[in-house]
Chains A and B, each alone.
Chain A
Amino acid sequence: MVIGMKTIRASIIGFGAVGQGVAEVLLRKNEYLKNIGLDITVVAVADSRSAAIDPDGVDLAKVLSHKRTEGTVGSEKLTGLEIIKNIDHELVIETTPTDINAGGVGLPNMLAAFEHGRDVVTSNKGPLALKYRELAEIAKENGSNFKFEATVGGAMPIINLTRDILAGNEILSIEGIFNGTCNYILTRMMEEHASYEQMLAESQELGIAETDPTYDVEGIDAASKLVILANSIFDIDATYKDVDVTGITKITPESLMLAQDDGYVIKLIGEVKKDLIRVGPRLVPVGHPLAVGGTLNVASVQTDLAGTVTITGRGAGSIETASAIISDVISIYRT
Chain B
Amino acid sequence: MRISMDVELKDIPGQLILALNPISELKGNLISVVHHHEKRTPRGTIPVQLVFEIDHEKLNTIISRFEDSGVEVIRSGEERFLEHGAIIMIGHIIHTDIQDTMDKIDSTGFAEVVDLSLSMPRIDKPSSALLKIDAVGKKEMNDAMSLLKTVAKEKDLLVIEPIETELM
Contact = CB atoms under 8 A, between A and B. Distances in A.
B130 A308 contact: no
A102 interface: no
Interface residues of A, number: 31
A185 interface: no
Contact of B119 (A175, A246, A254): A254
B69 interface: no
Contacts of A283: 86-88, 160-163
Contacts of B127: 254
Contacts of B166: 285, 288
A273 to B, nearest CB: 9
B124 to A, nearest CB: 13
B88 A246 contact: no
A250 B152 CA distance: 14
Interface in A240-269: 246, 250-252, 254-255, 257-259, 261-262, 264, 266, 269
A255 B120 CA distance: 10
B128 A266 contact: no
A300 interface: yes
Contact of A281 (B91, B125, B160): B160
Contacts of A282: 160-163
B126 interface: yes
A307 interface: yes
Contacts of A307: 168
Interface string B9-26: 000000000000000000
Nearest to A176: B163
B42 interface: no
Contacts of A257: 119
Contacts of B34: none
Interface in B141-168: 158, 160-168
Interface string B80-124: 000000111011000000000000000000000000010101000
Contacts of B136: none
Given A259-B88, A264-B162, A288 B117 contact: no
B129 interface: yes
A271 B164 CA distance: 10
B160 A254 contact: no
Nearest to B120: A254
B58 to A, nearest CB: 38
Interface string A267-300: 0010100000000111111011110000000001
B149 to A, nearest CB: 10
Contact of B165 (A175, A250, A280): A175
Given A261-B117, A266-B88, A283-B88, A255 B128 contact: yes
A282 B86 CA distance: 11
A298 to B, nearest CB: 12
Contacts of A280: 160
Contact of B126 (A252, A285, A289): A252
Contacts of A173: 165
A258 B165 contact: no
Contact of A258 (B126, B129, B158, B168): B129
A258 B162 contact: no
A321 interface: no
Nearest to A273: B164
A285 B165 CA distance: 10
25 contacts: A173-B165, A175-B163, A246-B158, A250-B91, A250-B158, A251-B90, A252-B126, A252-B128, A255-B88, A255-B90, A255-B128, A258-B119, A258-B129, A262-B130, A269-B163, A271-B163, A280-B160, A282-B161, A282-B163, A283-B163, A285-B162, A287-B167, A288-B163, A288-B167, A308-B168
**3 tightest A-B contacts by CB?**
A254-B119, A255-B128, A254-B128
Given A175-B163, A255-B160, 8 more contacts: A250-B126, A254-B128, A255-B88, A255-B119, A258-B117, A258-B130, A262-B132, A282-B163
